[in-house]
Amino acid sequence: MWKRFFSVLSVLVGIAGFCAMPFIVGVDDLLRTIGQVGWLYLVLFIVNASGTIVIPAIGWWLIMRAEGLPVSLGVTLQTNFMGYPINVLTPSMFLGGEPLKTFYLAARYQIPKRRVLATIIVAKFQELGGLILSMVVAATLFIWQSDILTIRFEVLLISLLVLLVALFSLILYAFAGRNRPLVMLVNLLGRWRIFSHLLAELLNLAEELEDLIHITLTHRLRVLLIAQIITCLSAVTIFLRPWIFFRALPDLHISFEQLCVLFVITNLVNSLTIVPGGLGLFEATMAGYASLVNLGDDKGVAFALISRVADLTFVVIGMSLIFHRGLAHIARARNGTLTTSDTAQLPVVKPPPD
């Protein structure tokens, strides 16, 4: 009950903040700024923003190919777009659609769900790793190029980023080194008597899933390296978003240092927010930063609203694919009416010897 209450409350607060921001910064100034962007730069902005869906999908597809899953690149791209609306509705814009993607591919190709989920987890590790690495590089370049921050704040920022890298490295090592983090979590839930009726099934699933993740992380190094390089390009598209937006505005220059700060802020807000999609919080953060560096708070909110237009575009595409492709394949799988191409059998992939 309390979880549902806080979920509804967070959504209401987000909507209220989102609706209030145009009036706080001035509706006329905001509309004038958005009008200056123009259709050409708006289309360019949306195409660039799609890189955060398309590019990670390519890396994920390479991982699935290495694991012997017969999923085409086109279907992988569709699946990533299908997961996007769920990601937006969840508190973090980077997670949420994974169950839908797992069930869809498992139903379409008759693949064990745990095998699909294992590749998704590895792909998410790569996506998160690319973002963290890019944030560290952006923050380092900002500190090196700028003298705005005090020494104390620079030390605090570097310490937070180092802590983030350390936590990510520990999680990655736990899976790659077969330290059984999921099994430990299930056993801990058993001691606390949480979901006790599901623990036996969860324990077997956790063991199998961790074995698959371990094999992918330790025996597919060449493919993982190529997929990681490709996935890191997704962070570049995020870095370019404010440059495209402010480039469209006449007589307004944005420095490289400001691009670095906006990149770090954008990722932190979207990752750590408790409001679905960062609604309201993202707009307020952009307005506050733009006002602080004398870009104009209306420019910050306009950038956030253009970002929402891109989000809405991808949500519409994703929902259309869910209703026209995802639900149809799942329904046909349950009715046993899949075609031969849909039920392509997987080759038996034996784990390499340790």
- Measured in degrees and rounded to the nearest 5, phi and psi for residue 201 equal -65, -40
**pLDDT of the residue at 177:** 66
Mean pLDDT by groups of 10 residues along the chain of 354 residues: 63 77 85 89 95 94 91 94 86 72 89 87 84 82 69 66 72 66 62 57 66 74 88 92 91 83 83 70 86 85 92 93 73 54 41 42
Boundaries of every domain in the chain: 26-147+218-328
The tokens for 38 are 């123009």
**pLDDT of the residue at 155:** 67
The pTM for the full model equals: 0.79
Closest CA to 249 of 29, 24, 7, 4: 29
**pLDDT of the residue at 250:** 83
Compute the distance between CA of residue 55 and CA of residue 45 in angstroms, rounded to an integer.
16
CA torsion 121-102-98-44 (nearest 10°) is 100
Q: DSSP per residue over 106-121, as a string?
A: HHHHT--HHHHHHHHH
Compute the distance between CA of residue 242 and CA of residue 201 in angstroms, rounded to an integer.
47
**pLDDT of the residue at 350:** 44
Over the range 46-69, which residues count as b (16 or more CB within 10 Å of their CB) and which as e?
A: bebbbbbbbbbbbbbbbbbbbbeb
The tokens for 134 are 């890019």
**pLDDT of the residue at 346:** 40
